Chains A and B, each alone.
Chain A
Amino acid sequence: DVVLTQSPLSLPVTLGQPASISCRSSQSLVHSDGNTYLLWFQQRPGQSPRRLIYKISNRDSGVPDRFSGSGSGTDFTLKISRVEAEDVGVYYCMQYTHWPHTFGQGTKLEI
């Protein structure tokens, strides 16, 4: 199975400051169709996960533009340009290039 390793696992941040989460894959996430199926999810306390980013860098509808995704191959990053209070929660990367689809361990962002 593809192992996604996130770092850091805990991310204390200051309101208004940037934050960055790394996700490294045990193998390339480039699919045979040329796409890279790497997603980012946010899970706020007490809520279900919510998709933020798909195919590395595409923001979902309604996601603030302070969130951005980047990377390629096996190394990916989620960045928040200026952290707001509502961003508190756990962030997960996920891949569906390979079966079984797998998630990273999660990064807990706290103010």
Chain B
Amino acid sequence: EVQLVESGGGLVQPGGSLRLSCAASGFTFSTYWMNWVRQTPGKGLEWVANINPDGSVKSYVDSMKGRFTISRDNAKNSLYLQMYSLSAEDTALYYCVGSSTVWGQGTLVTVSS
């Protein structure tokens, strides 16, 4: 079964950090562009970052550049998102997405004091 399972979300204080993980199974992870997409009730769906199959090319939405780092470990079929300097505006459900076809169930990040 094709599957992406996110983990690592939770409650974090403003200014804090969090690392999200995504475990892939059921497809050839190392051949997929991988992405993080977030969703909030107010802003809807928002692309966060993506990374090419071998990890050599990474792109970020401007508002996250310098604060978020996307990475992958093809040997472990895993995708990561390291987030720093979090603010309330980063509160969202974060999805791991393979190409645009495989979506995880999301992991909730809440930034609040």
- A interface residues with partner B (beta carbon < 8 Å): 39, 48-51, 54, 60, 92, 94, 96, 99-103, 105-106
Provide the bound-state CA to CA distance between A19 and B47, in Å.
27
Known contacts being A48-B103, A49-B103, A100-B62, is A92 close to B45, with CB within 8 Å? yes
| A94/B59 in contact, CB under 8 A | no
CB of B25, distance to nearest CB on chain A (Å): 16
Provide the bound-state CA to CA distance between A48 and B97, in Å.
10
| A51/B101 in contact, CB under 8 A | yes
Collect the chain A residues with CB atoms within 8 Å of residue B45's CB.
49, 92, 94, 103, 106
* Selected contact of A102 from candidates B47, B50, B59, B105, CB within 8 Å: B47
Collect the chain A residues with CB atoms within 8 Å of residue B103's CB.
48-50
* Selected contact of B95 from candidates A48, A94, A105, CB within 8 Å: A48
Known contacts being A48-B105, A105-B44, A106-B44, is A39 close to B100, with CB within 8 Å? yes
- B interface residues with partner A (beta carbon < 8 Å): 44-47, 50, 59, 61-62, 95, 100-101, 103-106
Provide the bound-state CA to CA distance between A96 and B47, in Å.
10
Provide the bound-state CA to CA distance between A71 and B101, in Å.
21
Collect the chain B residues with CB atoms within 8 Å of residue A51's CB.
100-101
Collect the chain A residues with CB atoms within 8 Å of residue B105's CB.
48
- For residue B45, which residue of chain A has the nearest CB? A103
11 further A-B pairs in the complex, CB-CB below 8 A; given A48-B106, A92-B44, A101-B47? A39-B100, A48-B95, A48-B103, A49-B103, A50-B103, A51-B100, A92-B45, A96-B100, A100-B62, A101-B50, A103-B45
CB of B48, distance to nearest CB on chain A (Å): 9
